[in-house]
Amino acid sequence: MGEQALREQRYRILVTGYAISSYGTFLNMVALNLFVYAVTGRALAVGVFMAVRLAAGFVAGLVAGTALARWSAKGVMLWANVAQAAALLLLILAPDGLHTVSLFAVSVVVGFSGTVFMVALRSSIPDIVGDERKTWANSFMVSGRSLAMVAGFASSGVVVSLLGYTAAFLVDMASFLVCALTVALLPIALGPGGGTAAAGAKDADTEGRRRILSRFVALGATPALALMVLLRGVDALGSSSHNAALPVYSTEVDADNPAVFVSVFWCVWALGNILVQQVLQRHTGRTGRTVGALGFGLGTIAMSGAFILAFAGLPWAATIIIALLAGAADGLTEVSYTSHLQSLPAAVRTHAFGTSATVENLGFGVGMIVVAAALDSFTALSVVGVAHGVAIAVALVFVVRVLRQRGAREVVSASGGNSESQRGADDAGPARGGRRDGAEVSGS
């Protein structure tokens, strides 16, 4: 077996573990929320539980880059899974009087560790499979998570109702341990902390952090990339609207069986997500190109538009098609966005993913609060329309900027511009606002 084939096989094993842990996560998204309500008897406690989880993820995004600059990505991913498994074990063993405290401890650990794990995984993909295979790797990861989401949501009711909460928590705990095992099987230590050099020296470590900070400041000053991360945060706000509004709308559609609409919608959404990954993989394999930042902007517009239409009261057949398109557009934006950030220099990549995670958690958390309040006074369609309408507006600004940059480069190329400064700007990449700064189709 060739070296590249071996690397891809190891990555498949890792993603299999990640998909299994994702199944446990989605299963517990239902089980934990129900358990919180059963223990406290208050709907407000469920909202606070989710808010604490999102807040922990927000903080994790701020520190993930620093952690990955100090320790290996392999070690971070391993202990992130072990920590989540340990938190669930404590919840299972906690006496009745400590259930509430244990629940919120689980919320903090799962929110923090889950975000750190995803930052480490996404930023390490180019190191695991190689830069030229990152689009395939991202598509494979998204496909695995989509299948896990469907399985987790679909089985949660059966597991909780037939086997009880403890069984659901044990399944989730086991899923994290399986993921930790697949991480442990990776034969290399990934990331800045994984080398064998004497990186522990205090002066060298301080100087290294200064270099990373200066590069990250330069990255943040890149307008197109900053706008891209902002759009991702606004997209998360839009996502909070349809997540909160779906139970309300499904009750209006079928008051006797509201879960049917939600289950069918998410299953079809996941199918669209998986199908677009197959298309992206074949497109990349045939042309050598991956969808760049322009695809991210256009995909966000399509996705937000589809989610708005999903609440328009259209017939079932039309809603199914819309859910399929929403899933496909969501998958497109996920892969194009992740691949774009992975094209950044290794020294700032983890910080970029950490910042992105922070912005996404902030957008989703603020969105959940605002949307929950708005749904008491406005229809689901109007709330989702406004939230996703904001995402469409920001995405349009982003797309216009991308097209202008592309047009400007084409004009320079046609005029035969060959100055040293122009060539330097073109080769700078996303961290310096060059050729790949929000305007490329990667690999072109």
pLDDT of residue 259: 63
Q: CA-CA distance, 244 to 365, in Å (whole number)?
A: 11
Residue pLDDT, tens place only, 388-417: 999 999 999 999 988 888 777 777 766 665
In the predicted structure, residue 115 carries a pLDDT above the cut 80: yes
Confidence category of residue 442, pLDDT binned at 50, 70, 90: very low
Both structure tokens of 436? 């790949």
Tokens of 158: 């059966």
Q: What is the pLDDT of residue 389?
A: 95
| Helix (H/G/I), strand (E/B), else coil: 313 | coil
Selection from 352, 74, 341 nearest residue 213 by Cα: 352
Flag whether pLDDT at 209 surpasses 60: no
Report the alpha-carbon distance of residue 387 to residue 236 in Å, rounded. 10
Q: Tell which residue, 312, 326, 308, 303, has the closest CA to residue 386.
A: 308
Interatomic CA distance for residues 67 and 350, integer angstroms: 9
**Residue with structure tokens 């592309």?**
406
| pLDDT tens readout for residues 30-64 | 788 778 777 777 656 766 777 788 888 888 888 88
Interhelix angle for 223-253 vs 293-310, to 10°? 20
Residue 378 corresponds to which tokens in the numbers above? 């406005």
Helix pair angle (316-342, 99-129), 10° resolution: 60
Asked whether 241 and 392 are in contact (CB, 8 A), the reply is no
- The Cα 73–Cα 77 span in angstroms is 6
* Residue spans in the chain of domains classed CATH 1.20.1250.20: 1-194, 208-409+428-439
Q: What is the CATH number of domain 1-194?
A: 1.20.1250.20
Can you list the alpha helix ranges (DSSP code H) found in 96-201? 99-129, 134-158, 165-184
Residue range 243-278, pLDDT digits in tens: 888 878 887 887 776 667 777 888 888 889 888 888
Q: Is the pLDDT of residue 192 over 60?
A: no
- Provide the CA 262 distance to its chain's centre, in angstroms: 21
Q: Picking from 146-150, 163-167, 414-418, 419-423, which range would have the lowest pLDDT averaged per residue? A: 419-423
Average pLDDT over the chain, rounded to whole? 79
Residue 342 identity:
Q
Residue keyed to tokens 């080398």:
195
How many helices (H) and strands (E) are present in the chain, helices listed first?
14, 0
pLDDT of 173: 93
Q: Give the whole-angstrom CA distance, residue 154 versus residue 166.
A: 18
Comparison of pLDDT for 200 and 212, the residue scoring more: 212
Task: Tell me the HSE value of 396 on the side-chain side, using a 13 A CA sphere.
Answer: 8
Residues 6+ apart with CB under 8 A from 48: none
- 137 contacts 82 by C-beta, under 8 angstroms: no
Joined tokens for residue 302: 């399509």
C-alpha 35/C-alpha 39 separation (Å) is 6
Q: What is the CATH number of domain 208-409+428-439?
A: 1.20.1250.20
| CA atoms of 207 and 188, how far apart (whole Å) | 25
- CA max distance for the chain: 75
Please state, in angstroms and rounded to a whole number, the distance separating the CA atoms of residues 322 and 140.
Answer: 23
Looking at per-residue pLDDT, the higher value among 443 and 207 belongs to 207
Task: Say which residue the tokens 């392999």 belong to.
Answer: 74
Q: Cβ distance 388 to 308 under 8 Å? A: yes
